[in-house]
Structure 1
């Protein structure tokens, strides 16, 4: 029995230590230096206009900011170009508390999660 243990112990040790990894870089995907070098399929967590922002705008803004604008709205927010060109103003006005001058939408503040998505979209580079 002792002979079996003497053979078994070195084999187990060899198996355990041969699977070790000393380099953290072998465990992580490399981070690209330039976002332009990343394939579109690799941008999983990026917030996009079509997937994330357009539904927020459609549900909260298009009642007035349609094309043509209604109810005294000064501009439309229908297309990517229209929304992206006014990104800072959209974020600022939806971030205001209900009742503050200029707060949008007039019916009440949108959920903070939606405001955070708009902010992330701007930080991610206004991806369509």
Structure 2
């Protein structure tokens, strides 16, 4: 009986020690994820240097001129502007309500990439 009590007390002491230690290093940064856009620079967004590489990496497998699924072509400036002009480009990549989320069968684009494309669209989609 005494051995069982000692074992029980030992287990309880161990659990209390683990519980106390497990929270000592928690801080707001560890508990709350960092803002995904905090490290995202949209200061020098260009079509050729920013938008094209994002689209090439994520969209061309379905929306290049030779494939053009759904009639959408994103490997030309004109094709991208056509999608950007009526809000479709930002709508699909940001998974906005009423739009088919893109890329299909793949994870959503990084928030930073979406912010860069949105910045380019908001700037009037310059061909730079």
The TM-score range, normalised by the shorter chain, is 0.5 to 0.7
User: What RMSD over aligned residues (CA atoms) do the two structures have, in Å?
Assistant: 1.9
> Deviations along 1:20-77, whole A, 9 cap, x unmatched?
xxxxxxxxxxxxxxxxxxxxxxxxx34211011000110000000011225x442211
1:96 counterpart SS class: coil
Return the index of the structure with the highest Cα Rg: 1
- Asked if residue 47 in structure 1 is aligned to residue 40 in structure 2, the reply is no
| Aligned mates of 1:69, 1:75 — CA distance in 2 | 9
Q: Which runs of 4+ in 1 moved over 3 A?
A: none
Q: Relative contact order: is structure 1 or structure 2 higher (C-alpha 8 Å, sep ≥ 6)?
A: 2
CA distance change for structure 1 residues 126 and 46 in 2, over 3 Å: closer, same or farther? farther
The residue that corresponds to 1:81 in the other structure is 78
1:102 counterpart SS class: coil
| Aligned mates of 1:101, 1:90 — CA distance in 2 | 9
TM-score of the pair, normalised by structure 2:
0.57
CA distance change for structure 1 residues 89 and 95 in 2, over 3 Å: closer, same or farther? same
1:115-126 alignment, distance < 5 Å: 115-126=114-125
Structure showing the higher helix proportion among its residues: 2
Structure 2 stretches of 5 or more lacking a match?
A: 1-42
CA distance change for structure 1 residues 101 and 125 in 2, over 3 Å: closer, same or farther? closer
